[in-house]
Amino acid sequence: MLPVLYRDDWLVAIHKPAGLLVHRSALDAGETHFALQMLRNQIGRRVWPAHRLDRGTSGVLLFALDEAASRALGAQFESRQIGKRYAAVVRGHPPESGEIDHPLSVLPEDRPFADFAEPRQARTLYRRLATTELPYRVDRYPTSRYALLELEPVTGRRHQLRRHLKHVSHPIIGDATYGKGGHNRLFHALLGCRRLLLACTELRLRHPVTGAPVVISAPLAEDFAKVVRRLDWAGSVPAGWLSQDQPLGSGTKRPPGNGCGSA
């Protein structure tokens, strides 16, 4: 059962677990479980994904319940009217806040479908929430530094957050493609963490039918929250990240504009 964060007559949002694909992909031809099909079976009606989360990313995943709502949401994403916030654990200690403005080229798997060839503008804002230094050597130093970040992608390029953080030498822990294997293995050995430590914690949008503001938020998944607690960061996270005030999976129906959480 997929935990439902928000539902009305036009929208439904779930808390996607890490490791689950949003929909069928040629890159994972052997996979048989997808959020789209699971949610369709769970609520008994067709759904349209409004955006994508990478397989390893957990958190807020939004679907439309009819084609008109799907088109309206697509227009909001395309025109960058939807706000997104993410949590990430990265290697090193970035500055307290900043912006990564670095164009990203199309990925090889997307080239057959891309209508552009040159790198496209990509911007990510970040805020450092907490840091730690562990007494273990991974690189050339006798200790290893890590930080918890809140990320806000201004643009929506494929793998943007993961690629941007690699670009500034602060790769996300658990990222097998853009990260550092030694740091990933340390988190597995110390904390039992095998997942990508990236989660969508909030979406902010205009309701596609009523026009009312909607904020949909999700706490960190338990495996992510466990890392935050073990690193003694619980006191530094935004309200709601470690909260289970609304039990996941309750399937609560809310009037348009009364989304979960707060801005």
- Distances 220 to 58, 202, 249 between C-alpha atoms, Å: 8, 11, 14
**Which residues are part of the catalytic machinery?**
54
Written as one letter, the residue type at 158 is R
